Structure 1
Amino acid sequence: MNLPGSRTVWEEGHEPGREMAALGVALALTAAAVDLLLTAQVGLLFDLGFVVLCVGLALAVRLPDFFTVGVLPPLLMLSTFLLLAMSRSEAIARADDGVVQAVISGLSHHAVALALGYGLALVVLVVRQRVAAARHALDGDAADVPAGAEAPLRRSGPGPRLPA
């Protein structure tokens, strides 16, 4: 059980969006490099690392920068595969494929990881937004009501006054 002032994992993110984007690029490229070193192709290890990376970035970013991390997963995978297609296309496609075809092949082969990472990141961001709104409403109500006083009545439109 959480105490009223204690923080949850959903409220802990405090890193700027730019830093999270830079970290995301670095870690996605690192995951691809490690997978290439171990298996000579981008495969399951990259996919698992990508999904974990997307969720981790969504948990670490601060509230005002949700948009940055919300659009980041597709851009991360696209940029990673674009760099791989330009340097080592056989890691994500056939060796004789051009850059565009290699990127498309890489994205299609890793579409499940992209969809899962993106979906989970968005779910985490939605949960964090709702928890922050609930915490703000709770803190705001507690700040408005002096100790020992009744809750103020609020008007919720042109009807009768309703208790908060």
Structure 2
Amino acid sequence: MTEADGFWRAFWEVGHEPGRQVVSLGVAVTLTAVSYDMLLSGRLTLFFDLSFMTLCLGLAALVRRRDFYMVALLPPVLMTAVFTFIALVARDAVAEVDDSLLQAVVSGVATHGIALFVGYALCLGWLGWRLHRESETGMAIELSHELGRRAG
């Protein structure tokens, strides 16, 4: 394997960031996309949807293997949290002003459901691809390290 092959393997297949940092990055980038979209248009547009889908793929590429579960659950939780926040702060951006909080959250998630579905599919697909690409030997070594840490 050449040095260039090692770079692409490390960049595309082997994430090294801890799950908590990846979750924090996801929240920060999502809230930034929401802020830009709300400032520019006063509501969430296709910009937010595309940002969310790209973010889901990026988070799946960054996370280390033992924190896959945390990132695998992140897209629906993140989308729901974002719409809960928006419903609390600017309800008219996602629903009617007189709608309840729950109704505004459901309305926002339903309106951007395609972005959630595609983002979630990209995230899970990338994590699955990363699992598939690792050899059985690599998984056996990682498992023995994990069992050795817990036993000692």
Normalising by structure 1, what TM-score? 0.78
Larger-gyration structure (1/2): 1
* Aligned match of 1:6: 6
2:66 is the alignment partner of 1:64: yes
**In structure 2, what residue type is equivalent to 1:112?**
I
Q: CA deviation at 1:85?
A: 0.4
1:135 CA drift (Å): 7.2
Partners of 1:78 and 1:85 in 2: how far apart? 10
Aligned partner of 1:82: which letter? T
Amino acid of the residue matched to residue 53 of structure 1? L
Partner of 1:85: 87
Task: State whether residues 10 and 131 of structure 1, in contact with CA within 8 Å, keep that contact through their aligned partners in structure 2.
Answer: no
1:4-34 deviations in Å (ceiling 9; x for gaps): 9725233231000011111111111111111
Residue 128 of structure 1 is aligned with which of 103, 127, 130? Answer: 130
RMSD across aligned C-alpha pairs, in angstroms?
2.1
What runs of 5+ residues in structure 1 fail to find an aligned partner?
A: 141-164
- Where does residue 119 of structure 2 map in the other structure? 117
Could you tell me how far apart the structure 2 residues matched to 1:35 and 1:80 are? 13
Partner of 1:31: 33
Aligned amino acid, residue 16 of structure 1 = P
Secondary structure (helix, strand or coil) at the match of 2:17 reads: coil
Relative CO higher for 1 or 2, CA cutoff 8 Å, sep ≥ 6? Answer: 2
What CA distance in whole angstroms lies between the structure 1 residues aligned with 2:15 and 2:39?
A: 32
1:19 and 1:40 map into 2 onto residues whose CA distance is: 30
Asked if the contact 1:10/1:127 (under 8 Å) is kept, the reply is no
Q: Report the secondary structure of 1:6's partner residue.
A: helix
Mean alpha-carbon deviation: is it higher for 68-77 or for 3-12?
3-12
Identity %: 42
Q: Which runs of 4+ in 1 moved over 3 A?
A: 2-5
Specify the alignment match of 1:53 in structure 2.
55
How far apart are the structure 2 equivalents of 1:113 and 1:23? Answer: 19
The equivalent residue for 2:75 is: 73
Contact 2:14 2:130 (8 Å CA) reproduced: no
Structure 2 gaps, min length 5:
142-152
CA distance in 2, matches of 1:64, 1:133: 16
Do the aligned partners of 1:55 and 1:121 also contact (CA within 8 Å) in 2? Answer: yes
Matched to 2:88, the amino acid is: M
